[in-house]
Amino acid sequence: MCDNCGCNVTDANRHLLEGDEHHTIEVLENLLHENDIQADHNRAHFEEHGVFVVNIMSGPGSGKTSLLEATIKALPQGMRIAVIEGDLETENDAERIRRHGVPAIQITTGMACHLDAHMVHEALHELDLTGIDILFIENVGNLVCPANFDIGQHRNVLLLSVTEGDDKPAKYPIMFRAGDQVLITKTDLLPYIEEFSMARARASIRAVRGDMPIIELSSKNGEGLWQWIDWLVQSVTERKVAA
């Protein structure tokens, strides 16, 4: 966990450690406190521009970028989006998004296994939020640490792919408790993965968060994708009304 191993210290917040290296617990508490302040600042910035922000979290290889590519194609015409990508290294995912004509900013975290509010704030300097309806933030593939960090998002969306196994919610409950929506992805592979039970996956999610909404979908064949799109459009509408 970030609170214990120190991986919550990133290049974006390292300056907050100055003078406190010998007071580990106090330092970590200060970092999380400063992160929350920055997250509130980010959120105020998003709301000022009327942008609905989705933090997409999952383990590596669950299909986050593939979901975004399918989402870009399926959203109603005129819905304007941008993406912030988080990875330890490379701009591979951002380049995939840019091929669709969507602005994408890559954050390379180096050793950090999550995004924090300071990283997102720095990325916003490279992104014009004017005229954007949805900002997707694809967090680093990790089922533990991203749950601890508010980055200014309005909703947390968790991906659970059928290739990961149906017991992940029980193994990583902190992540699933932090979610607002679960997407069970890669459902086109269900006929080939006998070990995965949709009933067990749903029961595992319900055991952690009984009220968690769940959508089953495939980014490859589009099955169930319309439910995800409807959720996004409705959320954008609600955000604009609230603003």
State the virtual CA torsion across 48, 51, 55, 61 in degrees, nearest 10.
-150
For the residues of 197-230, what is the DSSP string, one character each?
-HHHHHHHHHHH-TT--EEE--TTT-TTHHHHHH
Residue type, 64: K
Read off the DSSP letter of residue 1: -
Separation of alpha carbons 126 and 139, rounded Å: 18
The whole-number pLDDT of residue 111 equals: 80
The C-alpha atoms of residue 69 and residue 125 are separated, in whole angstroms, by: 24
**Domains held by the chain: number:** 1
pLDDT of residue 141: 93
Residue 32 pLDDT: 83
How far is the C-alpha of 158 from the C-alpha of 184, rounded, in Å?
Answer: 8
Position 5 scores a pLDDT of 46
pLDDT at site 242: 77
Question: Could you give the CA distance from residue 74 to residue 230 in angstroms, rounded to a whole number?
Answer: 10
Report the CATH number that the domain containing residue 108 is assigned in CATH: 3.40.50.300
The CA distance from 133 to 7, in Å, is 32
CB neighbourhood size of 204 (10 A): 20
Q: What residues does 159 pair with on adjacent strands?
A: 183
pLDDT at residue 4 in the model: 42
Q: What are the backbone angles phi and psi of residue 182, rounded to the nearest 5°?
A: -110, 135
Quote the domain boundaries for residue 202.
2-242
Are the C-beta atoms of residues 31 and 5 closer than 8 Å to each other? no
Render each residue's pLDDT in the chain as its tens digit; 243 residues: 455 445 656 666 556 555 555 555 566 677 888 999 999 999 999 999 999 999 999 999 999 999 999 999 999 999 999 999 999 888 999 999 999 999 999 999 888 899 999 999 999 999 999 989 999 999 999 999 999 899 999 999 999 999 999 999 999 999 999 999 999 999 999 999 999 999 999 999 999 999 999 999 999 999 999 999 999 999 999 888 877
| 3-state SS class at 118 | helix
